[in-house]
Every structure is written in structure tokens, then in C-alpha cells.
Amino acid sequence: MRSVPLFNAAGFATAVVGAPTDFQGEDGLGGFRTDPRHAKELGQVIADLRARTRGAVWVVGTSRGAISAANAASRLVAARRTVSLNRRPRWRQASRASCAAARTRACSYDGGMTVSDFTAPADVLVLQHLFEDGPGFLGEWLDAQGVNWHLRCAEAGEDYPASVRGYRGLAVLGGAWSANDERPTLRQAEALIREADALGIPVIGHCLGGQLMARAFGGKVDRLRQPEVGWLPITRLDSPAAREWLGDAVQPTVYQWHQDGFTELPPGAELLASSSTCAHQAFALRQHLAMQFHIEITPAKIKDWLETPGHAYPVHVLLHRNSVQDPASMNAATLRHQSGSEAMADGIYRAWRARWKA
């Protein structure tokens, strides 16, 4: 075995690898350096490597983190279970003080946007799960349209409202969590999505937000065979609804960062787009749109995510070269595709706004 540095970027692991097809090594062996906080995530990656290489997977060292990861992998293999690798968990525990400071900022947590005071009336409610996944271009678009909007961030300790009554639109953002995680705020988001449907309020979901919509309306969310990370093409279906929501481009390039997906659509939902890796990229149901991709993406969000991508990301780059971009390729693709993404987002958000109640 030999030590192979994966990338020269902060937060990336160093792997000891040797799977012939994936790592240009020998003996079908692979491993990671880890620590206890990453045990579940790396346990999943180790289990994946075992299946992929059909050989042993070693964890470097005898630290508590290494042992925990190896034990987690053994349990996953035995139980055939998975944990969420929906995106890059940061594995940071915000202190009460930092959460309180975030709440007083009254902003989108990714900067540059103006959010209405929650005590003042607003047309749109935006549900944010984690600090790192703010409204991005959605917030910029709402500001440009002169729309008053409220933002509630679960990680900041902000309670979601008990009802969406009085709003004209509901937007649900993404996040590193799985839609299937047993988190009270996820279940509350689903309840608000169902209430919005009953009240005729259009809902738009981004990545995790789209997955929560699928669950709320009776669909199913599962882990996909391989992740999608970076700028990747999707294929728009040739239907009036698909053109109305997603525009005229047949194969637009959109930004992805997910491992889970809505594998079964809700009853009555219409598929709008797919990709070679993820069969269900977007669906429409009544006045709602659920997307698996990040149409709200901005270069600032990409930079933030690449700074702390999670330990699974560099391994996925090696395992899934056709669906996971390395940082250099991703940054180059951002220069090519960001303007097209924003143009597509403008059309999507206009179609969403057209469905708001007067």
C-alpha cells in the first residue's frame, strides 16, 4: 500500500489506497485517516469501498476514530443500512452564543441580502436548515423583484412558524441532512409543505427541500447508487409542464451536491427532468416544484462548500469520476455555467411567482 494525497485543499483526507480500477494501486486495499466525529460517515464510505473493491478496506491507525469508523462499517455491512451522505456535513457544533449571534444578524447567513423583520408582513417564507446552505441566488432574486420575505434558520435555533397562512409562496432550501433523518425541524417543514398545499400556496424545493416535498406528498427518498457533485447536465422532458417550469433548453447544466434522491414520486406528480445518475431530477405537483439540483447556487456557496466538503467527498471523486467533479474541474465549470444557471433560475422563480395568490 502507498499513501496518496488526494487534493491540496483544506479539509481533505489523505487515503492509503490500492483498488486496481479506482486508485491505480494493488491488492484491493483502501483506507482513511479519521476521527470519532466522522465515524458514521466514513463507516458508510468504507462499506461502499468493500463492495466496490471486493476486498479488504483498512483504517489507518488505532485511534478511537479509526476503531469507531471500522466498527460502524461492520455494522452497516451486517445490517445493510446506510447513513445520509446527502452533502458535505460540516460536523461542527455551534455554541449557544454563536447561534444567538446569528439570530441577531437578521440576514440570510450567506450575506448580501435583505430579509424582512419577522414581525412585519411578507409574501414569502424561506426555510433554511443549516448556516452553510442559505438562499443564495433566490434571495438576490427576491430582493431584485422587490419581494418582502422572511427567513427562518433551524441551525440558528429559530423556530419555524406554526403556520404558513398569510404567505403567498414557500421556499425550502437544501442541506447536508437526509430527508429521512429524525429531526423535528424536518418533520415540521413537511407539515408546513402540506399546509401550504391545502391553502393553495406554491412551494418550491431545492435539493433537500425537494426531497422533503416528495416525502410530504407521499413519495419516497432513498440513497442513490452514486452521488452527484458539481456542474452536470440534466435532460428536460418534452412536455408543456417541463418547458413552463424549466425553460426551453433540453439539456441544461445545473449544480448538484447530493447522495440521496426522491426515488419514488408522490401520487399525481409529473416528472420534469432526469439524468443518467438520478432518474428524478425535478417534479411538478399542482402548483408546486421540487428540484434535486441547486438552482439557487452562487460562486460564494460553492467556495464555502469546497472549503469543508466532508471526508467522503475526495473518496467519491475517485470512485465516481463520471458524476463527482474534483475542485479544479468544478471551479472551471462555475465560470462556464453560473450565468446560465442564474438565467434558468430566473425563469423558474418567475414561474413559481406566477402561481402565487393575488
Catalytic residues: 207, 294, 296
Most distant CA pair in the chain, distance: 65
Strands 124-128 and 169-172, bridge-based pairing? parallel
**Cα 333 to Cα 340: distance, rounded to the nearest angstrom:** 11
**Cα 130 to Cα 175: distance, rounded to the nearest angstrom:** 6
Cell of 287: 402548483
Nearest to 297 by CA among 342, 249, 234: 342
**Cα 246 to Cα 316: distance, rounded to the nearest angstrom:** 29
Kind and range of the H or E run holding 270: strand 270-274
Nearest to 228 by CA among 203, 184, 261: 261
- Collapsing DSSP states into helix, strand and coil, what is residue 90? coil
What is the dihedral sign for C-alpha 181, 93, 324, 35? negative
Nearest to 297 by CA among 257, 244, 260, 332: 257
Helix, strand, coil distribution of the chain in percent, nearest 5 = 35, 20, 45
**Cα 167 to Cα 146: distance, rounded to the nearest angstrom:** 15
Burial of 226 (0-12, 13-18, 19+ CB in 10 A): middle
- Collapsing DSSP states into helix, strand and coil, what is residue 340? helix
**Cα 263 to Cα 211: distance, rounded to the nearest angstrom:** 9
**Are the beta carbons of 12 and 22 closer than 8 angstroms?**
no
**Cα 130 to Cα 128: distance, rounded to the nearest angstrom:** 6
Nearest to 192 by CA among 149, 152, 146, 221: 152
